[in-house]
Amino acid sequence: MQNNMEIIQSIEEYCLKQPGAYESRPFGTFPICYRVMGKIFAQFNPQKDFYKITLKCEPEKADMYRQLYPEIIVRGYHCPPVQQPYWNTVDLDRFENIDLLFQMIDEAYDAVLGKLSKKSKGQLLELSELEFKDTNGEDPDFAMLCTELDRTLDELVGTIFQRKQYDQYNQRDNIHDVIIAYQKGIPVACGAFKMYDEEHAELKRIYTDASCRNIGLGTEMLRRLEAKAKIKGYKYCILETGKPLEAACHVYQKAGYKVIPNYGQYANMPDSICMERKI
């Protein structure tokens, strides 16, 4: 299979066409990993000297492909031995059937879905109807959602006067990495991050409209923000939330965030809770 931009792009686009799929790079520049509900189903290496794709698979079907294409399709080359039966690595320099490759990508995606809980499958069904857009702090839809976020916070934790001490840390013109979720063209959720230091991306302005809560959208936004921050070279995500926001703290803790001493601007704010997660 030729290693050119057209073929590479077609493989990348096909992986991202899977419902709820997004890109991440947890191991560095390569492989490009494709995830659904946080789980990897494909790992793509498009380099000319290492042109391969590793795909999740069911053991029986994986073995069938290895027998049909010996030395071209092998056990996951980088996987621990216990995981190798569940992954196949395809040598794309020697594999010519792109339709079969796309079928194997479908099967890799289905293999991950098969391990999800009933609740997660239900959430994925709803999340798959959303469109996610990468943008920046100047986006008018982001501005609108931030206004809704501030209105909600005013209702939950206090008046604008009580919260004005935080305004200087939430200025949109300092935020260059934003993700917005749309439902039938209507913006319903957002999240962002900005540089805190060379290793830490600070998550900001995470909000989900009431109409889209309880479908796992907050957790999905976290996953996508973390993936984007990792691609940009950050090692950790940090965030600040308020003590009255117990529900938000629970979501972050469930996603793997741990409470840390209040950092930087929040050091002397007793109502703040700061959290961190290695990504």
pLDDT given at position 247: 76
Is residue 92 a part of any domain in this protein?
yes
pLDDT given at position 169: 57
* Residue 170 and residue 34 in one domain: no
Q: What does pTM read for this prediction?
A: 0.91
Question: Which helix (H) or strand (E) is 34 found in, with range?
Answer: strand 32-36
Mean pLDDT of the chain, nearest integer: 93
pLDDT given at position 167: 57
Label residue 87 left, alpha or beta by phi (over 0 means left) and psi (-120 to 50 means alpha).
Answer: beta
**pLDDT band at residue 52 under the 50/70/90 scheme:** very high
* Residue 197 and residue 245 in one domain: yes
pLDDT given at position 172: 72
Is residue 82 a part of any domain in this protein?
yes
* Residue 109 and residue 139 in one domain: no
* Residue 64 and residue 154 in one domain: no
Number of Cβ atoms within 10 Å of the Cβ of 47: 12
**pLDDT band at residue 253 under the 50/70/90 scheme:** very high
Number of Cβ atoms within 10 Å of the Cβ of 130: 18
* Residue 137 and residue 235 in one domain: yes
**Which residues have CB under 8 Å from 169's CB, separation 6+?**
204, 240, 265
Q: Which of 220, 237, 247 is nearest to 274 (CA)?
A: 237
pLDDT given at position 98: 97
* Residue 143 and residue 273 in one domain: yes
pLDDT given at position 160: 47
* Residue 164 and residue 237 in one domain: yes
Mean pLDDT (whole number) for 184-210: 97
CATH number at residue 151: 3.40.630.30
* Residue 143 and residue 215 in one domain: yes
Of 83, 116, 149, the last residue of a domain is 116
Is residue 169 a part of any domain in this protein?
yes
Residue-wise pLDDT for 146-190, tens only, equals 999 988 887 776 654 455 555 555 667 689 999 999 999 999 999
Q: 17 is in which domain, residue-wise?
A: 1-116
Q: What is the DSSP letter of 37?
A: T
State the Cα–Cα distance between residues 83 and 157, nearest whole angstrom.
47
